[in-house]
Amino acid sequence: MTRSTAFTEPAKKHLGQHFLHERGIISKIVQAVDPQPGDRLVEIGPGQGAITFPLLDRHRELTVIEFDRDLIFPLTEAARAHGTLEVIHRDVLTVDFTALAHNGGDNARLRLVGNLPYNLSSPILFHALEHAAAIRDMHFMLQKEVVDRMAAAPGSKVYGRLSVMLQAYCQVTPLFTVPPGAFRPPPKVDSAVVRMVPRDPATVDVRDHAKFEAVVRDAFGQRRKTLRNALSQQCDAAAIEAAGLRPDARAEQVEVAGFVRLANSLLG
């Protein structure tokens, strides 16, 4: 693999930057993504190019979204030895992934990759959900505790709003753990790589996203409360029972399908 130009820009704490450098981990990420001809790869937060350049070596074309202006020039220059790099200098939360997928008229769904900043991981995940129909899959590195929450099953102490909202729309599969020493500077926690594959829209039973989100938010708003009390602004005990749920159950005991049934039933 061609070596990239060295970067001198230090990580910026206020942007949540931790630059990956461990080659073994980088290889495992590229192997997990396994880019194929015709794929539309988009990397979120390429940083110093640790994942960017190996992906370019494999795929030859890549679009990256980078907010830090100081990284754009060295990233662009170093990429010349690896392939064709398109840089979008934007806050990822303002990027329309649906429009990006449709650029050029090929309607190819995006494959998202990224070592996400820890302080923005949940907003980025929810933003991607809004464009799930335009995304084929996502491979993200996040704090391990976040990945644990994303993939948690009912009854787990970490099963919550994030688990339900993501699993309703995606298949979530944790892949492997990444130790702090794989980054510069090392974070204070373990990280993990997760694969998310949006479900076929025909199989997603959520009839109204806003109502579903409101029900899940209120149910987990105060975890110690029963559904009867936590959802008092949404419905009464009879409506909860009509959806096949126990009013005296707590949110962490309810499977994703149960929340979907309840939200749908409240639409009338």
Beta strands in the chain (DSSP E): 19-20, 40-44, 61-65, 84-88, 110-115, 135-143, 170-178, 183-184, 191-198
Q: How far apart are CA 155 and CA 170, in angstroms?
A: 20
Q: How far apart are CA 110 and CA 188, in angstroms?
A: 32
Rounding to the nearest 10 degrees, give the CA dihedral for residues 30, 36, 37, 39. Answer: -80
Residue 188 burial (CB < 10 Å; 0-12/13-18/19+)?
exposed
Binding residues: 18, 20, 45, 66, 91, 115
Question: Which has the closest alpha carbon to 213: 268, 166, 150?
Answer: 166
Binding residues for S-adenosyl-L-methionine: 18, 20, 45, 66, 91, 115
